[in-house]
């Protein structure tokens, strides 16, 4: 399957990954060059050398997040449930950062534009990979459902995502079993 990943240098990946962890821990308010340098274990000035402005740093985080999620979709080999399992396993840092960026996109046209560009990359890959999307939903609708489940899970601590994914994965089996019992 062909992929559409942005080529990032190792140093930029290290900085973007550190920025993801900083945003997850401290929100976008805590995203400073110094905080990213410390989190990455790199000398002071490393982040500002690679990302000249805060907007550049946020754009780099958005690109990195998209690359991580697109790689999961690519590896899912046509199964939306498998892709979502991988995203759920991606951890709390990525999830919190994704929500921080989505909320910031409501306020910031630049962030909104960068997020939209990455959503377009995601949609193109999803369509080209023929991901099996349940219930006749479109790719963006399924992502919205997944985001809602993730949000509920991180704010309540209940494992709603796992329950929903299990239900999606087994619903046809349950329907078939119920039909047999009639």
Is residue 119 assigned to a domain?
A: yes
Tell me the β-bridge partners of 132. Answer: 79
pLDDT digit string, tens, across residues 129-138? 555 556 666 6
Is residue 158 assigned to a domain?
A: yes
Residues of the domain holding 44: 10-172
Read off the tokens for 126.
């999803």
Is residue 33 assigned to a domain?
A: yes
Range 92-111 burial, b when 16+ CB lie within 10 A, else e: eebbbbbbbbeebbeebeeb
Is residue 2 assigned to a domain?
A: no
Rounded Cα distance, 71 and 3, in Å: 8
Provide the pLDDT confidence category of residue 160 given band limits of 50, 70 and 90.
confident
Task: Answer whether residue 117 shows pLDDT above 80.
Answer: yes
Residue whose pair of structure tokens reads 């930029």 in the numeric block: 12
Is residue 133 assigned to a domain?
A: yes
CATH of the domain at 155: 1.10.357.10
More confident residue, 35 or 140: 35
Q: What percent of the chain has pLDDT over 90?
A: 40
Taking residues 167-176, report their average pLDDT: 67
Is residue 32 assigned to a domain?
A: yes
Task: Answer whether residue 153 shows pLDDT above 90.
Answer: no
> Based on the structure, what is the number of domains in the chain?
1
In terms of Cα–Cα distance, which of 114, 105, 133 is closest to 65?
Answer: 114
Is residue 180 assigned to a domain?
A: no
Read off the tokens for 90.
């991606």
pLDDT of residue 48: 97
- In order of 14, 18, 64, 148, the CA distances from 40 in angstroms are 6, 5, 15, 31
Asked which of 27-36, 85-94, 145-154 is least confident by mean pLDDT, the reply is 85-94
CB 60 within 8 A of CB 12: yes
Max mean pLDDT among 37-41, 68-72, 171-175 falls in: 37-41
- In order of 41, 61, 134, the CA distances from 99 in angstroms are 25, 13, 24
Taking residues 53-71, report their average pLDDT: 91
Task: Answer whether residue 14 shows pLDDT above 90.
Answer: yes
Q: Give the SS3 label for residue 76.
A: coil
> 68 Cβ partners below 8 Å, 6+ apart?
90, 94
Is residue 179 assigned to a domain?
A: no
Provide the pLDDT confidence category of residue 180 given band limits of 50, 70 and 90.
low
């Amino acid at each position: 399957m062909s992929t559409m990943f942005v080529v990032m240098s190792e140093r930029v990946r290290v900085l973007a990954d550190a920025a993801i962890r900083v945003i997850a821990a401290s929100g976008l308010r805590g995203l400073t060059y110094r905080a990213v340098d410390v989190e990455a274990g790199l000398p002071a000035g490393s982040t500002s050398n690679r990302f000249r402005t805060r907007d550049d740093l946020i754009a780099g985080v958005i690109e990195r997040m998209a690359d991580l999620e697109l790689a999961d979709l690519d590896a899912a080999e046509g199964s939306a449930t498998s892709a979502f399992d991988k995203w759920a396993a991606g951890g709390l840092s990525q999830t919190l950062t994704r929500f921080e960026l989505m909320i910031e996109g409501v306020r910031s046209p630049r962030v909104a534009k960068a997020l939209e560009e990455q959503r377009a990359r995601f949609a193109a890959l999803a369509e080209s990979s023929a991901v099996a999307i349940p219930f006749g939903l479109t790719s963006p609708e399924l992502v919205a459902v997944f985001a809602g489940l993730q949000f509920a899970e991180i704010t309540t601590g209940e494992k709603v995502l796992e329950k929903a994914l299990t239900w999606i994965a087994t619903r046809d089996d349950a329907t078939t079993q119920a039909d047999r019992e009639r």
